[in-house]
Structure 1
Amino acid sequence: MENYTNLNKQYISGIWREGNGKSLYQNINPYNQEIITDIQMASQQDIDEAYEASKKVQKDWEKVNAFEKSEIMEKAVEIIKKRREEVVELLMLEGGSSFIKANVEVDFCISIIREAASFPMRMGGEMVPSLVPGKENRLFRKPLGVLGVISPFNFPMYLSMRSVAPALAAGNGVVLKPDEQTAMAGGTIIAKIFEEAGLPQGLLNVVIPSIEEVGDGFVDHPIPQMISFTGSTPVGKHIGALCGKNVKKVALELGGNNPLIVLEDADLEKAVNSAIFGKFMHNGQICMAINRIIVHEKIHDEFLEKFIKAAKEIPVGDPFNKKNMIGPLINREAVERILKEIEKAKQQGAKMVLEGKVEGNVMHPTILTSDTNEVSTSKNEMFGPVVTVIPFKTEEEAIEIANDTQYGLSGAIHAGSIEKGVQLGLQLETGMVHVNDQSVNDEPLIAFGGEKQSGVGRFGGRWSLDEFTTYQWISTQDVAREYPF
């Protein structure tokens, strides 16, 4: 199997070419700091051309037979399966993914494209009764037009694909802007896959601009009818404001400060296993990752002892060593940011019970304890292998601590009774709660999204179809209508 080439290029109007931007970006392996490739960044003119190209062919794509659209999606799935080894290697090389995490990400991509393959068959209309005699109401589901998609570095391929595939399948055009740190795994390899699958040229474009040069030009552009953004809450707020100003639809999947509540009657072994995976999967660089573990005071010490022991046993290091479960953080700035948060939390009264050593961009598991939710590491999203364990006395207190955050993305509860877990889950101000599991879950048929400052909108299943389409009402009057004047 041949590897894809030109992954460091822009993909505009079906052509692989250099960007016209002023800067050259060095794409660096986050583990060993070696330069993978250079990318000539895109300019505002490149963004304009990408949107124009997508707009030019979108109406024709909208009219393509549903079975043909679906077949292209199915071909994309087969291509990913055939090229799994290549895709996994790229995710490990560019984003520091472990072998396990990279394969999970590929599986997620396959699942969401399979679901998207059903969308062309679900674009029909419906008839709705009318108040007016002789009137027939028809509602037609239609694509929005052209979308702009902005994706992050942590699950670069999947967090691009979960917008790109459903949007294309519903008849839209797409311009994708991946994070430059994972521009290939989160952007250009997706363009290669759909190009090979037979997607019309120009419908999907990938641009990698320097934000310093283009500013808000990707979001503010007049062509896209919607912006789908996954990333930090501060940037999401800014994008939401821009879309509001321009009356554009927006989907935002933002930050999280996700709690794991462990009740007194929980199975400790299961709770510890859940906590280890939900906190340290991909080094904690997941918006759904556990950020705080809230444990009943009677089992707090026993839980902590088992949790520390399990965390020490996690293999850490080079992601190309398949035994390692934790690789590097995405860059040195992330390491420095987390270390500052830890020092601040210690000054605020938190206690370090497991200090993870730092080797380059690799950070070993770090565990703190605090009597309150007021320390820095529990108030802020760590987005790294750091967790704060907090005791509670009553279930009401546990819920209060869990909800004491601006975020509301995901969460988990371990309880001896499933129904008790569900009832407490309903009291959490989050979009998702997992009972006797951990907070990192995603499925192609489920409404994925958050509350409060964790985002707006839902991804997955019929909710993605709703996000990336609109309805048009057409009525017909079969008999003469009587008007009051």
Structure 2
Amino acid sequence: MSVQSILVLNKNFINGEWKEGKSSRSYDILNPYDRSVVASVRLATKEQLDETFNIARAAQKEWAKSTVEERRAVLHKAAEYLTVHKEEIVNTIVSETGGTLLKANVEHHLALEFLEESIKYADEIYKVKEVPGSAEKFNHIYKLPLGVISSITPFNFPLNLSMRTIAPAIALGNSVVHKPDIQVGLSGGSIIAKAFEYAGLPKGVLNVVLTDIEEIGDGMLTNPNLDLISFTGSSAVGRHIGGIAGQNLKRVALELGGNSPLVVLSDADVDQAVNAAIFGKFIHQGQICMIVNRIIVHQDRYDEFVEKFVARASALPYGDPSDPKTVIGPLVNERQLEKALQYIEDAKCEGATVALEGTRVGNVLTPVVFTNVDNSSKLAQTELFAPIASIIKAQTDNGAIEIANDTAYGLSSSIFTSDLARGEELALQVDAGMTHVNDQTVNDAPNIPFGGNKASGLGRFGNPWVVEEFTTTKWVSVQTTNRKYPF
């Protein structure tokens, strides 16, 4: 299959068929680097979405009866598709997201890992756990498929973040109605649909709807047939989803925004901290929820760190993301770029020092570095999603941890120190779902509890934690003798 074969997957995948949207509106998916049209999509309507949820409900009832062997066979075949068509998929990710070849390869690798990991826990449903009862009664506890999963994913890592929900849901006997960000509809939805079509997944178990909010409103949140809303995106939208889910008593898995600190303690290896911070800040132009958003450096290491960090940042190659040498590619769209430029102007007005001035080249923004940043400033408290680095000076090591915690978010974090035992001790004091000692903040794997605290979300992905999220627990007791009742 060629990239051109992927580009024609610009339709909805509903009930096992590729269907044109029925809206009068179309959407052009644009290459963020040169603004060329990657694909044009006729959007699905609210009526099509409602029909899709009905289809998913009926299909799930049958898929829930599948054997573990059947589920594993489908998952293996879907993984085979991703493996065989890696080059075309990677190139599509580059074209749609503006991510570099390095980023696209990392994303493909992660998506495949999540898919392969799901094979390991496909046997968790219907597995019997016995709980002590009495001589007259025994208790069995089961995990059963939850039902229909409503999946909503963002633009930045579309293949990986979509697969992170879809693969576990299917492995555990659920059906899925999936809406990727329309900007990345192919790599966030159509490629995955094609993989499971190739794998022989029964019709209606996975449905991919290419549309936008103007067409469907809150249809992905309010449909009576859904049982769980899985959302990855901003905290503001997450709060909206949480409110609706609470009113309708629906479960949620919310992976939201971040303001991840990278803390450099007084005994840190500065060179290694700089290496990590450069990668953790500038991969995918800073457009990752786990990205290093604040760099907090002990005053004894501050000047050395700033000098080396600025020198490295200023030399990063930028431009066409399809060039293997490129590190800094374009931001995803014009609106994100304008927001980034406004953050820069606001930071200057707030009094932060410009240590490295960035340049706009088309949709590319070269690295920007601010020093003498106040942690209470708008710059420090905003999830930037741009190649803008903020470096904050801490007077003490403990003070650095306090600064790290002084944010509404709590997704990822990192600490650099030569004392590993102390580093792990301090890691437990950081109010975040994940803390990495002597590594940067952008880390993910299919067998760890991925998720955040505070405004960064609810629930955890990863094996085995996702099993709890995507199943319902059932208690079955069996009375073996006639029970005598008091009345």
TM bin, normalised by shorter chain, reads over 0.9
Distance of 1:368 and 1:328 partners within structure 2: 20
Check whether the contact 1:350–1:375 (CA below 8 A) recurs between aligned residues: no
Task: Give runs of aligned pairs for residues 265-344 of structure 1, distance below 5 A.
Answer: 265-344=267-346
Code of the residue aligned with 2:132 in structure 1: it is P
CA contact (8 A) 2:180 2:188 kept: yes
1:257-297 CA-partner distances (Å, limit 9, x unpaired): 00000011111111000000000011000000000000010
* 189, 195, 198: which one aligns with 2:197: 195
Distance in 2 (alpha carbons) for counterparts of 1:282 and 1:125: 44
Q: In 2, Cα distance between the equivalents of 1:191 and 1:469?
A: 22
> Deviations 1:420-471 (Å, cap 9, x if unpaired)?
1111111110000000000000011000000000000000110111111111
Residue equivalent to 1:219: 221
Q: Tell me the residue number matched to 1:365.
A: 367
Q: Does 1:210 align with 2:173?
A: no
Secondary structure of the 2:451 match is coil
Q: Following the alignment from structure 1 to structure 2, what is the Cα–Cα distance between the partners of residues 267 and 444?
A: 30
2:17 is matched with 15
CA contact (8 A) 1:21 1:210 kept: no
| Match of residue 353 from structure 1 | 355
CA distance in 2, matches of 1:290, 1:266: 17
Deviation string 1:84-141 (CA, Å, 9 cap, x unpaired) is 00100000001111001100001001110111012222221211012x5511111111
Higher alpha-carbon deviation: 158-167 or 206-215: 206-215
Aligned in 2, Cα 1:371/1:185: closer, same or farther, shift over 3 Å? closer
Q: In structure 2, what residue type is equivalent to 1:283?
A: Q
Match of 1:48 among 38, 47, 50: 50
Deviations 1:195-228 (A, max 9, x none): 0011111110001222112211121000010000
Work out the CA distance in 1 between the residues paired with 2:122 and 2:366.
Answer: 46
Identity within the alignment, %: 47
Amino acid at match of 1:127: E
Contact 1:12 1:49 in 2 (8 A): no
Deviation at 1:396, TM superposition (A): 2.1
Higher mean displacement: 84-93 or 16-25: 16-25
* CA distance in structure 2 between the aligned counterparts of 1:286 and 1:99, rounded to whole angstroms: 16
Using the size of structure 2 for normalisation, the TM-score is 0.98
Asked if residue 146 in structure 1 is aligned to residue 129 in structure 2, the reply is no
Q: Quickly say closer, same or farther: Cα 1:436–1:18, change in 2 above 3 A.
A: same
Separation of aligned partners in 2, 1:211 and 1:453: 23
Which sits farther off after the overlay, 407-416 or 345-354? 345-354
Q: How does 1:457-468 map to 2 (within 5 A)?
A: 457-468=459-470
The total of aligned residue pairs comes to 484
User: Shift of the alpha carbon at 1:482?
Assistant: 2.7
- SS of residue paired to 2:122: helix
**Distance in 1, Cα, partners of 2:283 & 2:270:** 19
User: Among residues 429, 444, 447, which one is paired with 1:445 in the alignment?
Assistant: 447
Which of 126, 129, 134 is equivalent to 2:129? 126
CA positional deviation for 1:5 = 5.6
Q: SS at 2:476's partner residue?
A: strand
- Residues in 1 aligned to 2:7 and 2:25: alpha-carbon distance in whole angstroms: 22
How well do the aligned residues superpose, as a CA RMSD in angstroms? 1.1
Separation of aligned partners in 2, 1:223 and 1:358: 46
Q: Distance in 1 between matches of 2:421 and 2:104?
A: 34
State how far apart, in whole Å, the 2-side matches of 1:5 and 1:119 are: 33
Q: Tell me how far apart the structure 1 counterparts of residues 20 and 475 of structure 2 sit (CA, whole Å).
A: 44
User: Matches of 2:469 and 2:185 in 1, distance apart?
Assistant: 25
Pairing partner for 2:403 from 401, 404, 412: 401
Distance 1:343 1:125 in 2: 60
Structure 2 unaligned residues grouped into runs of 5+: none
DSSP-derived class of the 2:59 partner: helix
Aligned residue type for 1:185: S
5+ residue gaps, structure 1: none
1:70 maps to: 72
Give 2:413's aligned residue: 411
* Greater CA drift, 87-96 or 347-356: 347-356
Matches within 5 A, 1:74-93: 74-93=76-95
In 1, Cα distance between the equivalents of 2:349 and 2:135?
73
Q: Where does 1:176-195 land on structure 2 (aligned, <5 Å)?
A: 176-195=178-197
Once residues 126 and 111 of structure 1 are traced to their aligned partners in structure 2, the CA distance between those partners, rounded to angstroms, is 28
Deviates more, 1:187-196 or 1:44-53: 44-53
Match 2:237 to one of 231, 235, 238: 235
List 4+ stretches of structure 1 deviating above 6 A. none
Measured in 2, the distance between the counterparts of 1:22 and 1:231 equals: 27
Q: Distance in 1 between matches of 2:422 and 2:169?
A: 39
Query: Matched residue of 1:117: which SS?
Result: helix
Preserved CA contact (<8 Å) 1:6 1:16: no
Task: Give the Cα separation in 2 of the matches to 1:210 and 1:307.
Answer: 40
